[in-house]
Amino acid sequence: MIYKRSSALFNEAKKYIPGGVNSPVRAFNAVGGDPIFVKKAKGAYLYDEDDNKLIDYISSWGPMILGHAHPAVVKAIVERTKDGTSFGIPTALETEIAKLAVSMVPGIDKIRFVNSGTEACMSAVRLARGYTKKDKIIKFAGCYHGHSDSFLIQAGSGAVTFGEPNSPGVTKGTAKDTLLAHYNNLESVEKLVEENKGDIACIIIEPVAGNMGCILPKKGFLEGLRQICDNNEILLVFDEVMTGFRLAPGGVQELLGVEADIVTFGKVVGGGLPVGAFAGKSDIMNHLSPDGPVYQAGTLSGNPLAMAAGYTMLKELNNNREIFESLDKKTAYLHEGMAKVLNDANIDHQINRIGSMISIHFCKDPVMDFETAAHGNNPKFKTYFHGMLDRGVYMPPSAFESYFLNDALSYEDIDHTVNALSEFVHELK
Ligand SMILES: *Cc1c(COP(=O)(O)O)cnc(C)c1O
């Protein structure tokens, strides 16, 4: 495959944009080579600047769950644009999407919309601190909650892909209030709670982790966190920016039956436009300004275009709930296909999957936390990534990312993907 024009565009971009990209995970630093530049996308496919057609397994890192340029979503955005694109004054649409989201997600009464997942998580933690009048938070190594200061402590995703899990620029003062636990390890949480009795405002977690590859919570882990929170007046915050409206209409809370006190959203909720949100019971949410003292704001929050895209996306999902089952089946089919090729070739690997999230780590031992995930970040992953790309399959360019399947993907596309792997699987020996 030829990437001549993409490479030229990348060289030009690097002159004016740090690293040539507006978000580090788009660069190919972890796998080598130049990133491809996309010209357009439709359904399950990306078309790059060199006119290569690629099967897309990142779906814009989650949002495009219905596939690219979905007709209903496009129509909603175009129609809405004609009536003005931003007012800074309330619109009826904001209540429509809020009502729909509250009806789909278990355990929430109110929701506030922001512009990104980062903002949602940052605001959720401020709210938890304001509500509990406590300062410290617990997060888990390898979990990513956006790039605000409190979370860039052993963060996953791009933060770890590019070798800076603890970013310079985060002050010691901020860092000392973020306590670090280990995913799937309740004892590590209990120990921190014991050592910091009465000081912990919240535990924030990706209830299914997607930023160190896909990692599932062990049986009883989320229930255990719920119990620890209840026993110690700590709020449980589920970061469902990735999993919300993806793994089920009501996210992980619905799928695995554990309820959080505050839930954050992003990605799917914006239908491909920049949207985040955080939600909870009225008792907690009413602490937000203007009703309460915890300040949070946004000039473009609830933007009409973003709300039109998000509302249409949620409505499509809510009215066609079989999509979740069909995505689960497609992803299982991909899982089986890839596993067979790798098993037949005797390649050590671990495939983790839940619903439409899946990832492969090239290592022997089960991947269940950040440490074990790091074993699969090796030269084999680079060979794998480029082998797939050269055969028209776009996978995430990092072993620390999950794939996101979309509804436009066909079984033929998945067959093509599995065949692509079998063509170069010997190179992974
Ligand atoms: C993507 C992501 C975020 C950050 O969202 P942005 O919109 O990129 O700011 C936060 N938490 C999780 C779990 C995510 O996957």
- Break the chain into its structural domains and give their ranges: 4-69+321-428, 71-319
Single pTM value for the model: 0.97
At 164 the pLDDT is 52
At 377 the pLDDT is 79
| Cα 210 to ligand 1 centroid, rounded to whole Å | 10
pLDDT in tens, 18-35: 999 999 999 999 999 999
Report the amino acid identity of residue 11. N
At 163 the pLDDT is 45
Q: What CATH number was assigned to the domain covering residues 71-319?
A: 3.40.640.10
* For ligand 1, mutation pick of 60, 113, 121 (most atoms within 8 Å of CB): 121
Calpha distance 39→123 (Å, rounded):
34
pLDDT in tens, 343-398: 999 999 999 999 999 999 999 999 999 999 999 878 999 999 999 999 999 999 99
- Secondary structure, 3-state, 114-175: ECCHHHHHHHHHHHHHHHHCCCEEEEECCCCCCCCHHHCCCCCCHHHHCCCCCCCCCCHHHH
Which residues form the catalytic set? Answer: 144, 239, 267
| Cα 239 to ligand 1 centroid, rounded to whole Å | 8
pLDDT at residue 165 tops 70: no
- In this structure, the residue with its CA closest to atom 6 of ligand 1 is 117
| Cα 415 to ligand 1 centroid, rounded to whole Å | 30
* For ligand 1, mutation pick of 144, 205, 359 (most atoms within 8 Å of CB): 144
- In this structure, the residue with its CA closest to atom 5 of ligand 1 is 117
Q: What is the third-level CATH fold of 4-69+321-428? A: Aspartate Aminotransferase, domain 1 (3.90.1150)
∠ at Cα 142 (14, 164), nearest 5°?
40
- Ligand 1 atom closest to the Cα of residue 116 is 7
Q: Which residues line ligand 1 (CB under 6 A)?
A: 116-118, 121, 144-146, 206, 210-211, 239, 241-242, 266, 276
| Cα 264 to ligand 1 centroid, rounded to whole Å | 9
| Cα 213 to ligand 1 centroid, rounded to whole Å | 14
**Could you tell me which residues are beta bridge partners of residue 209?**
215
